Chain A
Amino acid sequence: MIALVVVSHSEQAANGVAEVATEMGGDARIVPVGGDPDGGIGTSAPEIEDAILDAVEGPDGETADGIVVLVDLGSAVMNAELAIEMLEEDLEVVIADAPILEGTLNAAVSASSPKATLDEVLQRAEEARDYRKLD
């Protein structure tokens, strides 16, 4: 099983992205995280690290085989990379190069299948890069 972590500069935005994605990929495990250590707009490596660990363990006791991290912009990418480096356990964690909302939605649909692999979920997330809003 593959789980998702959604990292935004705003905790509300991260929750909102997870909310939208959950509607489509209801069975996928999605952990949102956002805001800087002060509660302001920003991102925090230790908090992302905790979110990854929460996503691995999950509330139901089923351990995830891998994690796809969806990020918004700038420091979210840097802090997600740093969080992955700081993980002491050997975990399969990748950052998707994808728009956060569409990427999370795609990844959630893909990850709702228990057989989905890390590569498949990552690829589905990254397909969202090419989406057009208008013809």
Chain B
Amino acid sequence: MVEESIQREAIEAAVHAVAERIEAEKTYLTELDSAIGDADHGANLHRGMQAVVEAIEDTDEEDPAALVKLVGRTLVSEVGGAAGPLYGGSIMSASTEFAEGIDTASTVAFAEAYLAKVEDRGGATVGDKTMVDALTPAVHTYKKSIEQDELPPLAALAKAVDAAERGVAFTTPIRASKGRASYLGWRSVGHQDPGATSTLYCLEAILDVATEYLDGEIDRDATSPTVPDESAEADGSPEGEE
């Protein structure tokens, strides 16, 4: 595992990258939210991430779990609506996975714990037209790429980002069953989900930062084969086939 000071630097860089991306997209996110929600997602997340940047800059803390928890707690304090508890509360709760520091295995554990908390808190599952639709494919693809395909973390993260993008696209043609958009019923069909979209932006920003800290090739195609032919034949799985 790399030194705590490098872990802190990477967390700080990731926080800045996410904050900048959300700032750049805040008007678009609010546009998406005004179609099927309460038109505050962009502004809310932007305010939250600005506060996170300040909180991280103001602390000398180097322990990665404590830093990530601070990110979550700050989002909970600053972001209203459902985004505060969903983003902030889930980050707070998953941060304990970094108790021993950030390495490949703990990032998989964090991703799984984060997804589980978002699902539990929001009561949403795949297909409800929520952030879960972007998060689930991303987390599943990341875990499988690391644990079964033994891809380097950077390659796994790139595939996860592509998986999230497919998840965001999936939210457009389906009817919302959770969140504010569900009150619109059939009128929600045809609109892209703002929470799934902001989830994708966060992941893309994190991937940008990861390329500076991790070695490896980027292949942003979640559907490209990752299992070598012989192992695919050995376990008889159809993965990698079109």
Inter-chain CA distance A75–B93, complex, in Å, is 18
A78 and B80 in contact (CB under 8 A), knowing A38-B47, A41-B38? Answer: no
Q: Which of A42, A46, A81, A86 contacts B81 (CB 8 A)?
A: A42
A78 near B179 with CB under 8 A, answer: no
A78 and B121 in contact (CB under 8 A), knowing A38-B47, A40-B40, A44-B84? Answer: yes
Residue numbers in A under 8 Å from B40 (CB-CB): 40, 42
A75 near B82 with CB under 8 A, answer: yes
A78 and B122 in contact (CB under 8 A), knowing A36-B81, A45-B89? Answer: yes
B223 interfacial by beta-carbon distance below 8 Å:
no
Output the nearest chain B residue to A38 by Cβ-Cβ distance: B80
Residue numbers in B under 8 Å from A79 (CB-CB): 84-85
B5 interfacial by beta-carbon distance below 8 Å:
no
Inter-chain CA distance A85–B89, complex, in Å, is 9
A74 interfacial by beta-carbon distance below 8 Å:
yes
Inter-chain CA distance A74–B80, complex, in Å, is 12
How many B residues touch the partner, as a band? 20 to 34
B77 near A40 with CB under 8 A, answer: no
Q: Which residues 1-51 in B have Cβ within 8 Å of A in the complex?
A: 38, 40, 44, 47
B80 near A82 with CB under 8 A, answer: no
Chain A nearest CB from B80 CB (Å) reads 2
B76 interfacial by beta-carbon distance below 8 Å:
yes
A42 near B80 with CB under 8 A, answer: yes
Q: Which of A37, A81, A85 contacts B80 (CB 8 A)?
A: A37
Residue numbers in B under 8 Å from A81 (CB-CB): 85, 121
Chain B nearest CB from A26 CB (Å) reads 32
A78 near B76 with CB under 8 A, answer: no
Residue numbers in B under 8 Å from A78 (CB-CB): 82, 85-86, 89, 121-122
B85 near A45 with CB under 8 A, answer: yes
Residues of B participating in the A interface, judged by any CB pair closer than 8 Å: 38, 40, 44, 47, 76-82, 84-86, 88-89, 93, 121-122, 179-180
Residues of A participating in the B interface, judged by any CB pair closer than 8 Å: 35-38, 40-46, 74-75, 78-79, 81-82, 85-86
A-B contact pairs, 13 of them (CB 8 A): A37-B77, A37-B79, A40-B40, A41-B38, A45-B77, A45-B84, A74-B82, A75-B84, A75-B85, A78-B85, A78-B121, A82-B121, A85-B93
